[in-house]
Chain A
Amino acid sequence: MDKVLKKILSDYKKNEGNLIYLLQKIQDAYGYVPEDAVNWFSNKLDIPASKFYGVITFYPKFRLKPTGKNTITVCCGAACHIKGSDKILGEVKGILSLKDDEDTTQNLSFTVQKATCIGACSIAPVVILNDQVYGDMDMERVSKLLKGYEKEGEYTGFEY
C-alpha cells in the first residue's frame, strides 16, 4: 500500500490543498477510499482525518467500502423517474439478490448505484453499466443486459 500512496502523495504536491483530487486518486487506485489510506495521508500531511471524511461523505461518488468489479448505475432523475426507474432499480437489485440496504454483491462482482441525472433524458429510463450507457430500459432489457454478464465473466454481448 505504501508504494501506491507515496506515488499519490507526489502527484498531490502539484495540486496542494485539493482533497478531492487526492481522494479521487485513492479511489482510482483501490476502487474505494480505505480507512488506512486516510490515516496515512492524515499523518503525512498533518490534516485531521475528519477533514477527509467531511469531503468523502459530502460527495456521493466517494465510497468507504469496496466496490464490485462491475458497476451498474440506474439513473433516477426526473425523466427516468416518471418512466419507471424505481422499478428498474428494484429489478436490478432483485436479479443480483441485493437487499434494500445493500449495494454490492457478496462476491464483489457487482455494485449498484443511483445517479441523479446523467443528461440522457431523451432515452429514459437509462442504465449505465461500466461506463456504457443503455437507454429505453425496461424489465426485459435490463435482465437481458445483466444476463450478458455471467456471474464473474466478461461481457458476452447485448442485443439492441
Chain B
Amino acid sequence: MKNSSIEIKVCMGTSGRASGGADVLRAFKQFIHENGIEAQISKRCGYKKVGCRGFCSKDVLVDVVINGEKTTYQSVKPIMVERIVSEHIVNGEPVSEWLTKEDYESFHNKQYKIVLGPCGEIDPENIEDYLNMNGYKAAKKAITQMSRDDVIKKVIMSGLRGRGGSGFLTGRKWEICKNQHENPKYIICNVGEVNRPLAEGNPHAIIEGLLIGGYAIGAEKGYIYIRERYHISVERLHTAISQAREKGFIGKNIFNSGFSFDIDFSFGTEAFICGEETALMESIEGKRAMPRFRPPFPAQKGLWGKPTVINNAETLSNIPIIIGKGAKWYSSIGTKESKGTKVFTLSGKVKNTGLVEIPMGMSLRDIVYGIGGGVEGDKALKAVQVGGPSGGLIPVSMIDMGLDYESLSKVGSIVGSGGMVVFDEDDCIVSVTKFFIEFLQRESCGKCTPCRIGTKRMLELLTKITEGKGEDSDLETLERLSSLMTSSSLCGLGRTAPNPFITGLSHFRDEYIAHIRDKKCPAGVCTALITFTIMEELCKGCTLCKKKCPVGAITGEVKKPHKIDPDLCIKCGACFKVCKFKAIKKE
C-alpha cells in the first residue's frame, strides 16, 4: 500500500468468482502491465481480492481507490477493463454509466454491518489486513488479561445468542461446558450455508472467535465443521489457520500464557440433519448422522463423550467484537431479548438479492423494500419464508413485524440459519410448502417415527392436493400430523418440519380450499389444476404458439384463431409466454 496510491479491489467471493471475478482481475493486471500504465501516471497499482460484500446481483463489483477515494463499478466484465483504466485511472474521469447506482447505496446504507463489515474491504488471504483492523487483539486481551470466567461473563452480558439454531445464550452454553470436570473439552465451529461468505470474506474473525471460545471453556482443540463443497471457504480458512499458526496465535503456549490451542478441519457431508448439534458430532465421529437423545447435552457429553460446545461461524465472528468493543456496546444493538445483528440471505423474488446484516428487530418491510428494493418486476408481495426450509411463511399482512427470536417464534417461524426467501403473487403457497416438506422428508434421518413417517405422510397429502385430488379431511389429517410431529419428534428437524404448513394454512387457508374444493390453483402453478385456452377474439392467427408448442397440441390456420387440444396439452406454458397478443388464458 505504501508505494501505491491506486488500489483495485475485485470481489472474489463465490458469487464474484461465478460471475468471472478472476478474469476481471487478470484483465486489470494484464492491461495495466502491458500498457505501462504505472509508469505513465507515475503511481503504483495495488490489487486486492476481497470477499463478498453482499450485493451479489450486480457482481462483479470492482472498487477503484485513488488516493483513498473509492469508486465502485458494478457488473464488470473483462471487456470493460480497458475503458475503466484509460478513462478513470489515467484521466481521472470515472466511467459514470458503469458505476453503482442508488440501489447499491440503499442496499448498504440500511444495513448494520458488524460481522460483515470487513468482508469486501480486506483481503481474506492476508493476515496483515486483519491485523491492521485490530485483529487478534481481542484474543490477546482475553487470554493474557482476562480469566475464563471474565470472558464468559462478558459474553453473557452482551446477550449474544446462538445464530444457528434455537438461540441459546452463547455465554451460558460456554459456562455449562467450562464447569464440567471431565477433560479434554472440545469446541466446534459449524460453517453452514449462510456463514459461507463470512468464511470467504473474513476467515480470521471465525478463527479468533474459536480461539477465545476455546480459552473460555478450557478446550485445547477446536474443529471447523464445513462442507467440502464450499471450496473457496475451505481454502481461505485453511490459509488463515496456517497464517495464524505462523504468527503464534494458535499452537502451543499462545501469547506466552501457557494456553495451547489448535484447530482441525472436519469435512461435513451434504446432510441437512448435520445442522443439529448431536447429529453433527456423530458425523465428525464418522457415523451416520443421527441425533442423540438429550440430556445429556453436548456441553456435558458431546464429541467422543467429552464436554463440547458447538457454535456457528456467525456466532463466533461476533466474539472478538464483543471482547474488543465491550458487552455494553454490543447489547445496545437490537431488541430487549435479542441483541446484536443477524445475517440473512435475501433471495427469491426481490430486486436486490444478496447477503444482508441487520440489527435485530428490523422490520421485514425495511428489509424487503428498503434493502431489497422491492419485489422483482414490481409484482405484489405474497409472503416471506424466514429461517430456511423449516421456517415459517410470514404473509404480507404481517410485514411490519420486527425480526428477532421472540417475534419470529410467536408467528411460528425461526431465525434458523437466516435464509429469507421472498414470494410474489405468482408463487403458490401449497406448492411451495410441498417443496419444503419434500426437502425435509428427504433429509429426515429416519431415527424417530414421528419425523420419518410424518414427513412422508405430509408429503403424500400435499402432493394429492396439488394434483387436484385433495379432500376436506386431508387438511385435518395434516393438522393432526403437524401437531404430533411438533410435540414428539426427537430433534429440531422433525419438530420444525411442519412450520411451513402450519403457518401457510393459518394465513392462506383460502388457497388450500381453492385447491381442494374448486380444484383451482389461484397462482397458476400447479399444472394439474390449470388449463390453457386461446381466446378467439384476441388471437390473430400468427402461428407463433403453434410453432412453439413442443407436443403439437395447437392447431389452426394462418390469420385464423388457433385452438389448444386439452388432451394433448402438457401445460408447459410455452404458448402463454410467446403470445404477443395476450390471447392465451391461463386459469
Residues of A in contact with B (beta carbons under 8 Å apart): 15, 17-22, 24, 54-55, 58-62, 77-79, 81-83, 115-124, 126, 128, 131-135, 160
Q: Provide the residues of chain B in CB contact with A126, threshold 8 Å.
A: 18
Report the nearest B residue to A82, measured CB to CB: B348
Known: A60-B270, A160-B19. A54 touches B347 (CB 8 A): no
- What separation, in Å, do the CA atoms of A55 and B283 have in the docked complex? 10
Top 8 A-B residue pairs of the complex, sorted by shortest distance between their CB atoms: A18-B286, A119-B193, A121-B347, A79-B347, A122-B56, A122-B353, A160-B20, A59-B269
Closest CB in chain A relative to B270 CB, distance in Å: 5
**In the complex, B230 has a CB within 8 A of chain A:** yes
CB-based contact B288/A124 at 8 Å? no
Task: Decide: B230 and A119 in contact? CB cutoff 8 A.
Answer: yes
Inter-chain CA distance A58–B274, complex, in Å, is 12
B231 nearest in chain A by CB position:
A131
Q: Contact check: which of A18, A78, A135 meets B419 at CB < 8 Å?
A: A78
Task: Decide if B270 touches A59 in the complex (CB within 8 Å).
Answer: yes
Cα A115 to Cα B485 with chains together (Å)? 26
Complex Cα–Cα for A20 and B194 (A): 24
A122 and B286 form a contact (CB under 8 A):
no
Docked-complex contact B285 and A60, CB < 8 angstroms: no
Bound Cα distance A22, B267 (Å): 12
Tell me if B270 and A119 are in contact (CB < 8 A): no
Residues of B contacting A132 in the complex (Cβ-Cβ under 8 angstroms): 17-18
Which B residue's beta carbon lies closest to that of A62? Answer: B269
The answer to whether A17 and B14 have CB atoms under 8 Å apart is no
* Chain B residues within 8 Å of A24, by CB: 267
**How far is A115 from B289 in the complex, measured between Cα atoms in Å?**
18
> Are A20 and B286 in contact, CB atoms less than 8 angstroms apart?
yes
Alpha-carbon distance between A129 and B445 when the two chains are bound, in angstroms: 28
Q: How far is the CA of A54 from the CA of B436 in the complex (A)?
A: 26
Neighbouring A residues of B389 by C-beta, 8 Å: 78
Chain A residues lying within 8 Å of B270, measured Cβ to Cβ, are 59-61, 115-116
Contacts of B14 in A (CB 8 A): 119-120, 123, 133
Chain B residues whose CB sits within 8 angstroms of the CB of A78 once the complex forms: 347-348, 385, 388-389, 419, 421, 435-436, 439
Given contacts A122-B355, A160-B19, contact A55 B287 (CB under 8 A): yes
Q: Distance (Å) between the CB of B203 and the closest chain A CB?
A: 15
Q: In the bound complex, how far is the Cα of B283 from the Cα of A19, in angstroms?
A: 10
B271's contact among A59, A128, A131, by CB below 8 Å, is which?
A59
B405 at the interface (CB under 8 A from A): no
Contact between chains at A124 and B353 (CB < 8 Å): yes
Residues of A within 8 A of B195 (CB): 119
Question: For the complex, what is the distance from the CA of A97 to the CA of B530, rounded to whole Å?
Answer: 29
Offer 6 A-B interface pairs, CB within 8 angstroms, sorted by A.
Answer: A78-B348, A78-B389, A79-B419, A119-B195, A121-B353, A128-B229
A119 vs B385: C-alpha distance when bound (angstroms) = 16
By a CB distance below 8 angstroms, the chain B residues around A17 are: 285-286
Q: Which residues of B from 375 to 396 have beta carbons under 8 Å from A?
A: 385, 388-389
Query: B112 on the interface (CB 8 Å rule)?
Result: no
Q: A19-B286, A54-B288, A59-B271 are in contact. Are A119 and B192 (CB under 8 A)?
A: yes
With an 8 A cutoff between CB atoms, is B73 at the interface? Answer: no
What A residues does B129 contact at CB under 8 A? Answer: none
How far does the alpha carbon of A77 sit from the alpha carbon of B229 in the complex, in Å? Answer: 15
Contact indicator B15/A123 (Cβ below 8 Å): yes
Chain B contacts for A82, CB-based, 8 A:
348-349, 421, 423, 427, 432
Residues of A within 8 A of B104 (CB): none
Q: Chain B CB within 10 Å — which of A55, A122, A131 has the most?
A: A122
Given that A81-B435, A123-B56 are known contacts, is A20 also in contact with B269, CB under 8 Å in the complex? yes
Report the minimal beta-carbon distance from A135 to chain B, rounded to whole angstroms: 4
CA distance in complex: A147, B446 (Å): 41
Shortest CB distance B51–A (Å): 13
A20 to B283, CA, bound (A): 8
Q: How far is the CA of A55 from the CA of B349 in the complex (A)?
A: 38
From residue A128, how far is it (CB to closest CB) to chain B in Å? 8
The answer, yes or no, to whether B77 is at the interface (CB within 8 Å) is yes
C-alpha spacing A107/B67, complex, angstroms: 56
CB pair B432 A123 closer than 8 Å = no
Contact A133 B17 (CB under 8 A): yes
Decide yes or no: A118 and B193 within 8 Å by CB, A24-B267, A58-B288, A79-B348 being known contacts. yes
Q: Of all chain A residues, which has the CB nearest B22? A: A132
Q: How many whole Å from A71's CB to the nearest CB in chain B?
A: 11
Q: Cβ of A131: which chain B residues have Cβ within 8 Å of it?
A: 231
When distances are taken between beta carbons in the complex, the residues of chain A under 8 Å from B54 are: 122
Which residues of the partner chain B approach A61 to less than 8 Å between Cβ atoms? Answer: 269-270
Interface membership of chain B positions 189-214, coded 1 if the CB is closer than 8 angstroms to chain A and 0 otherwise: 00011111100000000000000000
Give bound CA distance, A19 to B355, whole Å: 36
Q: Which of A55, A79, A123 contacts B286 (CB 8 A)?
A: A55
Complex CA distance for A77 and B272, rounded to whole angstroms: 11
Interface residue? B118 (CB, 8 A)? no
Which residues in window 320-349 of B have CB below 8 A to A? 345-349
Are B435 and A134 in contact, with the CB atoms below 8 A? no
**Nearest CB in chain A: distance from B44 CB, A:** 29
Complex Cα distance, B32 from A109, in Å, reads: 40
Q: Tell me if B533 counts as interface (CB < 8 A to partner A).
A: no
**What's the least CB distance linking B579 to chain A, in Å?**
19
A133 touches B269 (CB 8 A): no
Chain B residues 48-64 with CB under 8 Å of chain A are 54, 56-57, 59
Q: How far is the CB of B162 from chain A (nearest CB, A)?
A: 18
Tell me, in angstroms, the Cα distance from A119 to B13 when the chains sit together. 12
User: Residue B298 at the A interface, CB < 8 A?
Assistant: no
Interface residues of B in 274-327 (CB under 8 A from A): 283, 285-289
Q: Who on chain B is nearest to A57 by CB? A: B288
Contacts of B346 in A (CB 8 A): 122
**A58 to B197 alpha-carbon distance, docked (Å):** 28
B366 at the interface (CB under 8 A from A): no
Q: 11 additional contacts, CB 8 Å, given A20-B269, A131-B231, A135-B15?
A: A19-B286, A55-B286, A59-B270, A62-B269, A78-B436, A117-B419, A120-B196, A122-B15, A122-B346, A123-B18, A160-B19
How far is it, in angstroms, between the C-alpha of A15 and the C-alpha of B389 when the chains are bound? 34
Once the chains bind, are A115 and B229 in contact (CB under 8 Å)? yes
Complex: chain A residue closest to B439, CB-CB: A116
- Given the contacts A78-B419, A135-B18, A160-B77, A118 and B289 also touching, CB distance less than 8 Å: no
